[in-house]
Structure 1
C-alpha cells in the first residue's frame, strides 16, 4: 500500500463499518474516530487502529498477530470477517456512507487486495485499500487480533 507520510489512516474490519452506519447519520458524521472507538464499540478494546503513516510504502509484514487486546492501544485492531479496510481518516465517514460490507466483499471476491476502485468509488484510489487478513499469514484467514508495528 502507498500511504502519505504524516497522514492518519484507520485500519478497520470492513464488517465494522456497518456499525457506524447504524447510528443516526448526523451523529456518526460528526464523531471523531478516537471518541467513536468507545461509543460505537463499547465492548471491544481494539475495534480499529488509527495509524499515522511513517513511510510511503506500507508492507503488510508490519502487521503481526496479537494474542490479547490492549485497551486504548491505537495500533491494535481486531477482525472477524478477515476483510480489512484501510483509509485516510479524513475520507472515512464519507466513504462508509457510500458503501457497505456486502459491496466491499463483492469487490474483493476474486482478489486478495484491492487498491484500484471502480465507479462510483474511483476517487478513493490511492486513499483506500482492502486486504484479506490471510495476506498477513495464511492461518489468519478469517480474522483475529492484530498490531501494527
Structure 2
C-alpha cells in the first residue's frame, strides 16, 4: 500500500523519488522505511538523529520544508541533507507523518532537476502524509 502511495506521489507531482522515514524512539533515530525511484539502495542504511537533515528537521519541528528554486539558500540546504545528496535530488518537499498527535516519521518527495513545486503539489504531499499516518495507525492497531 505504501509503495502505491509513493508511486502516485511521484506521478502526481512529477517527481523522481519519494520515501517514508520512521522514528525509532528507542535509539532516538529516524530510518528510511520505503522508497520509490531510488537510484541506489543507500537510503536503507541511513539513520538520522532528530533535527538533522531535511527529514530530521520536519520530524523534530513538525513542519513542512520545501527546498526548490523558490528558496534562496536551496543549494546550502541540499548539501546539508544526506538523502538529497545520495539520491541526487535538487528539489524536495518534506513533511511530518503524524499518528495520535505525535510525529512518528516523515514523507519526502524529491526531484533530480531544479524546479519550483506548485502549491497543488505541496497540498497533495500534505494530504498523502495524513493518509500514511492513518494507514500506519491502523497497522499498529492490527498488531496489538
Give the structure-1-normalised TM-score.
Answer: 0.30
Higher helix share: 2
Higher strand share: 2
Give the structure-2-normalised TM-score.
Answer: 0.30
Higher RCO (CA 8 Å, separation ≥ 6 residues): 1
